[in-house]
Structure 1
């Protein structure tokens, strides 16, 4: 696993080039230094390792071009970003290309395919077009949302390129972190496709690739479902619905919540696809609104998992946007991709009447949006490490219960504030800290105090719903994050394949 979850063709920016940076061929070092000092990007190539990032750039002259490889320490990396969308750089292409490129943009939209650009056209967008020649190809990266429509789209694309052959359209289809030349993807199901990632190149039959990628989407979405289920089945949960009682919720029970969880299956699958495409936050928000409306239809208007739709949707999209990586990188990705839009959305939301806004106005306590805008630092730095330690030393149930207590102790839970005000929040936080300080929940006195805490909250009509949502978030993040090799999840895309020499 690389220190950062970069993918092929990502644009990489560095702070400086010094003697620790290797340039091949060496005579191109002055050009590379000038390129970096001008603030231009390199593109990620294969062969990166734990200490150095391998990037490339092409030096164009009037009569030739030369590819340059640069090896740079990871600590010199400033930032990175996905290749630009085709519509963002289309005007930088030669006028003779516009008809074909605009037709590709129009063709891709109804199929739900995002089209990004790498190669010479990206260079032209940065430098002004001198890198393109009459015989230049255009390199496109096609990122689909639905595999069932992909082959139809590619057949239409092939017909389009036969009708408009200039320029030649090269490029790849991306599924998660697997890239396949788009013309090879049109082969018969039993024909091998050459697929590439940052870490390897391998041959896989197209039908096997399609099946593995379908399983990977299910694998990622089912983690979110499982996290909600694990939280639901936990007992006791102070003030919350469990298999033994309704907690402080007269309008909810386990069957209702389970139906609500099941109603989110398609939403989580969709978030895998949208995250892979790195769509805007507004697009994610629209999908979340649809999921919430569907959930409310299933529950008869009872709000069961609005917070989980937000938190887990963001988490799943961030995980799907990159190869498997650490928990901190997954949460940092949320801000990298959607931080500016989240901040803008926060400003708009704070002007609208809602339970969350009323709580924020009255008590000035941070809510779900503020948690996301922090990059979930509380979860990454405190809650997840605590849970991972508890998981080793305690039973699964006790580990989750202790983690819920930690969240109740540290989070300014808007549900508690709405139901009981600031004094109720402070009392709940104090009792949660006291129980944690008593020691393991496996000890009978500690367990008795914890059970009594549940009935105290039920008696007062209090429910830490925000903490419950973040417990599900923590459980899912733990499974999404890259584990030690001995603990690796059984993901279909992590199985061995024959690697090309």
Structure 2
């Protein structure tokens, strides 16, 4: 994989014209923000190919990090310039502080060496590393002073491109491992939460007599090849988002076969293969797209429920989900996914971010909140009657009235509720799957 693949060569005249245009853009921004500090962001790419799909991916990754470092009053980004992506940020902090943060980004971010983050003070002067007594930038080929190597043309352009490609591949490899391990951790975190009403945890099989926590661990680990394939496909996908979903389905069928072989035909994670597979793929695809994560999911799954439930009146044998759609109009996890998992993004994730306490207590409370935000089709299937949802609402309300997992009374009630669910063979399987999605997103931010 080369970041220069399919890039269009540019001339020296193109580069000089681009620099003039960038200066003009900065001057226009200065007219509006006369007293603010401006940050000009470009890439330091050797050779005559300055833009490509992979180069834009590098720029997006850096911009995500920079927008965490700096709170911008205003910003503009130009990804498609033949001479390379550019951005301008306007920030309300001192120019010296801004430069220190910019240098920290260039030094510490995995791809920071490829970025030029120039700080323009209100008086129109650029701040340099030397001005603040900072060390020079190292050459990414030999590690010596980059300016000296550039002036002396110490390295041929192909050596610099080779070093740049290696830097990019190391970044992708590390990023892939983070995404895959986070998906597996999310599944392991969910099964570790205890007690959960009717669900498997380290101390109980819940209402699932063919499962235990160890089987869940084996099942989760067996899905590593699935998430590996999803990462590779989603990062390089150039076709439509609906066709990406079809590829997710194809890979999901293979993953389900692997899971069932591992568990000896016990269905531990079939729902997660579907829902987390979609969220995982969309989150990787977002690295190359200027789209909101939920927007990606919605585009990917447009028309899913209509297709899934079309022509049911002519079917002689119905699945539980199809029966619930005809009886109650419930679309289950398909409907939740098609809408972009609103219960996860709008309810569970903000709640988890703000919840205090131990990991177990925060996740348990989040699970119970999710249970009130959806119509858990797994619970309805086991109960055989949709009226079980009204009972659940009362139970969850009482649980939180007692203070939830952080109180002795709340925890005692949860143990009682768990036993009641087990006696009635009930389980919050659908809610548990959405908890896994919530954990996955929170772990990606390194906040959990």
TM-score normalised over the length of structure 2: 0.62
Equivalent residue in structure 1 for 2:214, among 236, 239, 255: 255
> Which of 295-304 and 408-417 deviates more?
295-304
Deviation of 1:324 (Å): 9.7
Which residue of 1 is the match for residue 175 of structure 2?
A: 216
Q: Quick one: distance in 1 between partners of 2:226 and 2:87?
A: 41
More helix by share: 2
1:273 maps to 2:238: no
Tell me if the contact between 2:347 and 2:370 (Cα under 8 Å) persists in the aligned partners: no
Residue 442 to residue 24, structure 1, CA distance change in 2 (3 Å)? closer
Residue 212 to residue 422, structure 1, CA distance change in 2 (3 Å)? same
Deviation of 1:367 (Å): 0.6
Which residue of 1 is the match for residue 304 of structure 2?
A: 342
Which residue of 1 is the match for residue 267 of structure 2?
A: 303
Tell me if the contact between 1:359 and 1:365 (Cα under 8 Å) persists in the aligned partners: yes
Tell me if the contact between 1:324 and 1:480 (Cα under 8 Å) persists in the aligned partners: no
Trace 1:73-92 onto structure 2 (pairs within 5 A). Answer: none
Deviations 1:410-436 (A, max 9, x none): 210111010002122221232112212
SS in structure 1 at match of 2:76: strand
Which residue of 1 is the match for residue 36 of structure 2?
A: none
SS in structure 2 at match of 1:340: coil
Which residue of 2 is the match for residue 410 of structure 1?
A: 373
Trace 1:456-467 onto structure 2 (pairs within 5 A). Answer: 456-467=420-431
Q: Quick one: distance in 2 between partners of 1:275 and 1:68?
A: 23
1:395 maps to 2:354: no
Which residue of 2 is the match for residue 322 of structure 1?
A: 286
Which residue of 2 is the match for residue 370 of structure 1?
A: 335
Question: Gaps spanning 5+ residues in structure 2: where?
Answer: 1-5, 8-20, 26-52, 90-154
Deviation of 1:387 (Å): 0.7
Q: Quick one: distance in 1 between partners of 2:80 and 2:428?
A: 52
Trace 1:96-175 onto structure 2 (pairs within 5 A). Answer: none
Trace 1:33-52 onto structure 2 (pairs within 5 A). Answer: 50=72, 51-52=74-75
SS in structure 1 at match of 2:286: coil
Equivalent residue in structure 2 for 1:232, among 191, 203, 207: 191
Deviation of 1:25 (Å): 7.8
Q: Quick one: distance in 2 between partners of 1:431 and 1:447?
A: 13
Q: Quick one: distance in 2 between partners of 1:301 and 1:70?
A: 52
Deviation of 1:343 (Å): 5.2
Q: Quick one: distance in 2 between partners of 1:242 and 1:468?
A: 11
Which residue of 1 is the match for residue 161 of structure 2?
A: 193
Q: Quick one: distance in 1 between partners of 2:80 and 2:177?
A: 37
Deviation of 1:233 (Å): 1.0
Deviation of 1:363 (Å): 2.1
Tell me if the contact between 1:24 and 1:68 (Cα under 8 Å) persists in the aligned partners: no
Deviation of 1:331 (Å): 2.4
Residue 271 to residue 70, structure 1, CA distance change in 2 (3 Å)? closer
Which residue of 2 is the match for residue 380 of structure 1?
A: 345
Deviations 1:448-480 (A, max 9, x none): 111111111111100010000000000001123
Deviation of 1:358 (Å): 1.9
Tell me if the contact between 1:406 and 1:436 (Cα under 8 Å) persists in the aligned partners: no
Deviation of 1:349 (Å): 9.1
* Aligned-CA RMSD value: 3.8
Deviation of 1:191 (Å): 4.3
Tell me if the contact between 2:193 and 2:201 (Cα under 8 Å) persists in the aligned partners: yes
Tell me if the contact between 2:344 and 2:438 (Cα under 8 Å) persists in the aligned partners: yes
Which residue of 2 is the match for residue 354 of structure 1?
A: 319
TM-score normalised over the length of structure 1: 0.56
Deviations 1:145-195 (A, max 9, x none): xxxxxxxxxxxxxxxxxxxxxxxxxxxxxxxxxxxxxxxxxx99x94437x
Residue 318 to residue 70, structure 1, CA distance change in 2 (3 Å)? closer
Tell me if the contact between 1:24 and 1:69 (Cα under 8 Å) persists in the aligned partners: no
SS in structure 1 at match of 2:406: coil
Q: Quick one: distance in 2 between partners of 1:331 and 1:349?
A: 28
Tell me if the contact between 2:286 and 2:292 (Cα under 8 Å) persists in the aligned partners: no
Q: Quick one: distance in 2 between partners of 1:287 and 1:313?
A: 9
SS in structure 1 at match of 2:77: strand
Question: Gaps spanning 5+ residues in structure 1: where?
Answer: 1-7, 10-21, 27-42, 59-65, 74-186, 195-202, 490-501
Q: Quick one: distance in 1 between partners of 2:86 and 2:161?
A: 29
1:428 maps to 2:392: yes
Residue 350 to residue 330, structure 1, CA distance change in 2 (3 Å)? farther
Count residues with an aligned counterpart: 315
Tell me if the contact between 2:235 and 2:288 (Cα under 8 Å) persists in the aligned partners: no
More strand by share: 1
Tell me if the contact between 2:404 and 2:410 (Cα under 8 Å) persists in the aligned partners: yes
Residue 366 to residue 384, structure 1, CA distance change in 2 (3 Å)? same
Q: Quick one: distance in 1 between partners of 2:24 and 2:353?
A: 46
